[in-house]
Structure 1
Amino acid sequence: MRTVETLSSAGVRGGDEVVVPAYGNPEVAEAVVRTGAVPVFADVDADSYCLDPAAVADAVTPRTAAIVAVHRFGRKADMGWIREIGRRHGLLVVAEEEPGAERTDEGQARRRRAHAKYLNSRLTGVVTPAAVAEHTYEQYVVRVPGNGRPDRDAFARALRGRGVDCRIPVPAPVYRLPGLRRDVCLPQTERAADETLALPVRPDLSRRELQRMAGACNALGGLLQPA
């Protein structure tokens, strides 16, 4: 990640504001802090988990110097609209890959897309990701409906008990983390942090493994519905 170098070379300095995603890794906001600037958290789109352009527009103030968008889980942020906002206000716009994302060749991406297509057609009881052609499914992220984090966490524990190696991709909004705390509440970010769960779609998974995973999810899905 070259956020610090990019912002510094563009003249972003202490006191400037930089709009960043509230959902995801803290590294982006931490990089902004290292330049002396102030991270301003914007909400994410409910489908892509990337910056919502409307939320970005609302976050811009006279002190804003830059916007840093992050491509999330293998899906691209809506850079067309975000760059238009930057052009309108004279802001630097930076697009970053998700910290820690793997480099995916086309063969791996095809395999993951095939796994995602299969799971989208089979899973019930969870909300599957929107099917988008350019999505590479670095992580296959579903939503577990329920009354909040305890339901998603209980679902994850039950899946692991059935041998499914699932993980919580973003445990908390970035603005709740030590050193980055802000008194904000962004509804889509809050919901995503409470509901999302990443299921494995490694290229080497077999159809039988995918079938077992779908069966385990479907067996549990009806037990954890909204009240």
Structure 2
Amino acid sequence: MKVAMLDLTEQYQGLRDEMLKALDDVMSKAHFILGDNVKKLESDVAKYSNVNHGIGVANGSDAIHIALQASGVGPGDEVIVPAFTFFATAGAVARAGATPVYADIDPRTFNIDPASIEKAVTDKTKAIVLVHLYGQMADMDAIAAVAKKHNLAVIEDAAQAIGAKYKGKTVGELGTAATYSFFPTKNLGAYGDGGMIVTNDTELAEKMRVIRVHGSKPKYHHHVLGYNSRLDELQAAVLNVKFPHLDTWIKLRREKANTYTQLLNEALKDNVVTPFIEEHNEHVFHQYTIRVQRRDELQAFLKEHGVATMIYYPKPLHLQPVFEELGYKEGDLPETEKACAEAISLPMYPELKQEQQEYVVKKIAEFYNK
């Protein structure tokens, strides 16, 4: 049996007629930049996030960067970020001219540890960029308390967590702003790059709208240094077709996650640590990530038997060569470094079949029972 990490072909077949009609409509009207599709998606995603404003941008990386710039982050500032995440989180900080300062993670959830944030604060700290990793929201109450104490902006990197909830609150409600990625592999994915920022702050939203169009308002009048970072109308049309299905897909992901957890605990209770979910959280399972020993050997074994897996993230950000000048060394963030050696993500998508999951778990059991 072959089990892909992600298979988008079945999803497309179910949406094909509606998708082709939506794309043809865009091309027939020939309005390709910041048209009705972008406006509709901005409105719908903002409402879904229980906030007032959505700002469509070119990708999730730009979303973080623009949110930071609009929040006043620049050269000489420090921004606290997790080291166990995709490069874009810290890369956006550096592109804004600020210095990323790395915090450790909670080993149970893989999310940034509020106590580690507190230790990292200095008189140069301007903001926190947290990540709701794998689809579970971070400890927002504790993070908000640190931010309030030190007067810090809070940017939620929710690239993997659209639809996730914390104590009944959704992404975007509890920070200064939240950012989404619509990269094709995401739970709500475009057919190319795309991103969005959501916020309740009207003044901040207007700043971000100006920044995404070269800092121009009115047109050809530039008061800030902005970027060409607009969500494409064709991609917005794709996302508008997909968006009504998001909650159903999230429900299916949770069902797949429950199946994995049950099967793994029955077959491998002593060899695998399954995902921990805080009681007050609603996880959307962008990834189903476990902890194991001999992780790289397991991955190679599964590949031999047709099972795709992914390792997010094998090298922590604080030890990446591009940030060498910051002076971090191995051992500085022990929980992050341990996670980089143990975490592995299994195939996860709404159309995944139970027999495929049973095969994946059977092969993991074979590896550890050899």
TM-score (norm 1): 0.91
On the 8 A contact 1:126/1:221 being kept in 2, the answer is no
On the 8 A contact 2:136/2:277 being kept in 1, the answer is no
Per-residue deviation at 1:61? 1.0
Match of 1:20 among 53, 77, 81: 81
Match of 2:128 among 67, 70, 74: 67
Per-residue deviation at 1:21? 0.7
Structure 1 stretch displaced more, 114-123 or 93-102: 93-102
Query: Could you tell me which amino acid in structure 2 is paired with residue 92 of structure 1?
Result: A
Equivalent position of 2:319 in the other structure: 176
Quick one: distance in 1 between partners of 2:277 and 2:70?
37
Query: Could you tell me which amino acid in structure 2 is paired with residue 136 of structure 1?
Result: V
RMSD (CA atoms): 1.6
Per-residue deviation at 1:11? 1.7
Taking structure 1 as reference, are residues 142 and 18 closer, same or farther at Cα in structure 2, changes over 3 Å only? same
Q: Secondary structure of 1:156's match?
A: helix
Query: Could you tell me which amino acid in structure 2 is paired with residue 29 of structure 1?
Result: A
Equivalent position of 2:248 in the other structure: 107
On the 8 A contact 2:109/2:277 being kept in 1, the answer is no
Per-residue deviation at 1:222? 4.0
Per-residue deviation at 1:13? 2.0
Quick one: distance in 2 between partners of 1:215 and 1:13?
51
More helix by share: 2
Say whether 1:76 aligns with 2:76.
no
Say whether 1:166 aligns with 2:309.
yes
Q: What runs of 5+ residues in structure 2 fail to find an aligned partner? A: 1-59, 160-180, 189-244
Per-residue deviation at 1:59? 0.7
Structure 1 stretch displaced more, 153-162 or 1-10: 1-10
Alignment of 1:83-162 (within 5 A): 83-98=144-159, 100=183, 101-103=186-188, 105-123=246-264, 124=268, 125-132=271-278, 134-145=282-293, 151-162=294-305
Quick one: distance in 1 between partners of 2:90 and 2:312?
17
Q: Secondary structure of 1:202's match?
A: coil
Match of 1:200 among 309, 323, 347: 347
Match of 1:189 among 325, 328, 336: 336
Equivalent position of 2:163 in the other structure: none
Alignment of 1:36-75 (within 5 A): 36-75=97-136
Equivalent position of 2:96 in the other structure: 35
Query: Could you tell me which amino acid in structure 1 is paired with residue 308 of structure 2?
Result: D
Quick one: distance in 1 between partners of 2:112 and 2:88?
16
Q: Secondary structure of 1:41's match?
A: strand
Quick one: distance in 2 between partners of 1:49 and 1:116?
17
TM-score (norm 2): 0.57
Q: What runs of 5+ residues in structure 1 fail to find an aligned partner? A: 146-150
Query: Could you tell me which amino acid in structure 2 is paired with residue 183 of structure 1?
Result: Y
Runs of 4+ in 1 over 4 A off after TM superposition: none
On the 8 A contact 2:252/2:350 being kept in 1, the answer is yes
Query: Could you tell me which amino acid in structure 2 is paired with residue 173 of structure 1?
Result: P
On the 8 A contact 1:17/1:66 being kept in 2, the answer is yes
Quick one: distance in 1 between partners of 2:272 and 2:94?
37
Query: Could you tell me which amino acid in structure 1 is paired with residue 116 of structure 2?
Result: A
Q: Secondary structure of 2:101's match?
A: strand
Q: Secondary structure of 1:67's match?
A: strand
